[in-house]
Amino acid sequence: MCWFDVGGGHDHFCCAARDELPATRFDGLDLSESIDEAKRRGWVDHAYRGLFPDIAPSIAGAYDTVSMSHYLEHTLDPRRELAAARVALAPGGSLFIEVPDPEFRLGRMLGRLWLPWFQPQHLHLLSAANLERLLREHGFTPVAWQRGDAHQNTDLVFAAWILLDRIAPSPHLPWRWGGTAAQVRRAVVWTLGVPLILGGALADRVLDPFFRRAKCSNAYRVLARRDG
């Protein structure tokens, strides 16, 4: 089996997946030199650097599986990425996608403090309904959805972190330099804020099993089959 991981960075995913699928060829793509490092370490068999829609024609029909884990939300045009996945996959091949869930209620309650909003890096946050519509438009049939198990228990600890960073941002950035007073302010705020961060981490761990059992999570996964 041939597997293509898109936007994998250092591709720890492929490194871990090899233990489960030792006979599979894993190739990876990323814009950064991290994918070259993945090749050097033997975590991927072949490394591609560039944009998926540009590379897809050169690997048309070559793969049984394409994976996009927390990748699609970073792209300029998810439609082009799905079209590229269809090109890269052999007929009947599988497309695996994991993305943040913009309908997650805790995320909506946290508002700008919810990490997955992550502006300006996250350009698109697709609801499951919208992603299903785009998949079908591009010749894919969803065969399995997963919530709960896709949850990452980091919402409240990062909300605390973002809050403290807004109250006392780093004074070392050129556009924020505020001298000694700003450095002291940051040191005091972050020292006093340690219990808030620890409390957030604890609350995330406590809530995690409830979200998983309720199949309600800050991310979701879908496995889709390429038609035709």
Cβ atoms of 89 and 117 within 8 Å: the answer is: no
Residue 153's φ and ψ, nearest 5 degrees, are -85, 70
Residue-wise DSSP of 7-47: T-TT-HHHHHHHHH-TT-EEEEEESSTHHHHHHHHTSSSEE
Cα 114 from Cα 160, distance rounded (Å) = 10
Helix (H) or strand (E) holding 192: helix 179-192
Which domains are seen in the chain, by residue range?
2-101+120-151+215-226 (3.40.50.150)
What are the E-state strand segments in the chain?
A: 2-6, 25-30, 46-49, 63-69, 89-100, 140-146, 219-226
* Helix 194-214 with 179-192: angle, nearest 10 deg: 50
- Ordered per-residue pLDDT tens for the chain, 228 residues: 999 999 989 999 999 999 899 999 999 999 999 999 999 999 999 999 999 999 999 999 999 999 999 999 999 999 999 999 999 999 999 999 999 999 999 999 999 999 999 888 899 999 999 999 999 999 999 999 999 999 999 999 999 999 999 999 888 777 776 788 888 989 999 999 999 999 999 999 999 999 999 888 999 999 999 998
Check: pTM over 0.85? Answer yes or no.
yes
Written as one letter, the residue type at 79 is R
The pLDDT of residue 41 is: 94
The pLDDT of residue 173 is: 76
